Structure formats: C-alpha cells, structure tokens
Amino acid sequence: MKIKWFGQSCFMITSKNGTKILTDPYNKMLGYKLPEIEANIVTTSHNHGDHNNIKAVSGDFIHINEAGSFSKDGVEIKGIRTFHDKALGAKRGKNTIYNFKIDEINICHCGDLGHTLDENLIKEIGNVDILIIPVGGRATIDSIDAVKVTKQLNPKVIIPMHYRTKAFGILGVLFAKVDAFIAASKLKTKEADILELDKNNINDYSGIVVLKYDC
C-alpha cells in the first residue's frame, strides 16, 4: 500500500488493488491546498471544516462519518466513537477513530482525538500496525498524550499529523511542531514523501515516519 499526507489530518491510502481511501479532507482556510483528488472511500472524523470537506473529492465514493463496521472493495473499516477534548465532548464535540484493515495491515487514524484511551477503547480499537495520530496539541492531544496513546496501542509504525508546518503561516503558532513528539517518544524516525509498505517489509519502518507535505 501507499500512504500520502496532504496536510493536517488528510491522508490518501491506496491499497495494492488500487482502492483509494481518503481521510479528513479540509477546506482552504488552513494554508494547505488539496489538489484535484478522487477516492473510493472518504472518512471524516468529525464535522469541522478542516476535516469534512467532502465536496473537494470527486468519484463515486462512499462517505463514512460515524461509528460502526463497514466494508468496501476489500477494505474493512471500524469506526469508534471518542471525543475531541478531555471533557467528554463538552468543549469540541465528538470524534471518530477509524481502524482500517487494508492489505492485511491494520491502520488506525485517530482524527482529532482529544484524550488518552481507557481499557474499553483500547479493546474496541483492537490490533494496530500503523498509527496515524495528532501530536500538535491545543485542539487535540499534545505530544505527551500522543506518546501515551502510542504506548497504549503499541503499533509498529507511527505517523504523526495535525502539527505546525510552514503551510500554516502565522496560524502555526496555535500548534506545536512535530519535533516535540519525536523528542518525547525517543523512537527512531524516518522521513518519506510517500510511505510504501506491505506486511512483509513493515518492520523495516518501525518507529516514527514523518511524511512530507509537498502539495
């Protein structure tokens, strides 16, 4: 499979049979810019403008924006209800974590997770090979809590998201840089434009993989 980052929480995951799964497409208010993009499956973790711009996506896709179990084109998807804050959603509302099974690999996309996990959530999420997790703080968990969630789920590969980049411009001060998470985790780190792996070579990418934003 291939995993490409479009900034913020938006990723394109392409399976070996060509199925395209897009997560959390955003609008233009962030400084990031989505190219023309087509998908077969689109998931949105919550109903905020930097995560739910499905109008930017073309193609005959299904849109998943809720908890539950789903399946399309050989991709199994489980949505788990969580919260956007530590106050059970009182400040920022609900959030959905998605665990995708693609090419025999489990990928967990945390959306705008705002808290660490309890035992019930850990069990519900299940096995995680690749964890895509917010680390920038303020609107999501920060680097310290992201490390805690990483240890709770014990993935092979961690891909950080939702942190400060140059694309934000002046708005970048609202979020921490990815460096804080890397330092707190103490894990080996690689960089990639596109992460391409399968069940046979996934261990070669163990640790943190920082995907570059180059749109």
pLDDT means over runs of 10, the chain (215 residues) = 94 97 85 88 83 86 95 95 83 89 97 95 97 92 97 98 81 81 96 96 96 78
Q: Where are the domains of the chain?
A: 2-211
Cross-sheet strand order for the sheet of 94-102? 68-72, 75-83, 94-102, 105-109, 130-134, 157-161, 207-211, 189-192
Give the pLDDT of residue 49.
Answer: 58
Give the pLDDT of residue 171.
Answer: 64
Give the pLDDT of residue 34.
Answer: 85
Return the closest-CA partner of residue 134 out of 170, 175, 100.
Answer: 175
CATH superfamily, region 2-211: Ribonuclease Z/Hydroxyacylglutathione hydrolase-like (3.60.15.10)
β pairing state of 2-5 and 11-14: antiparallel
Backbone angles phi, psi at 125, to 5 degrees: -65, -40
Whether 51 and 112 have beta carbons less than 8 Å apart is answered as yes
Q: What pTM was computed for the model?
A: 0.94
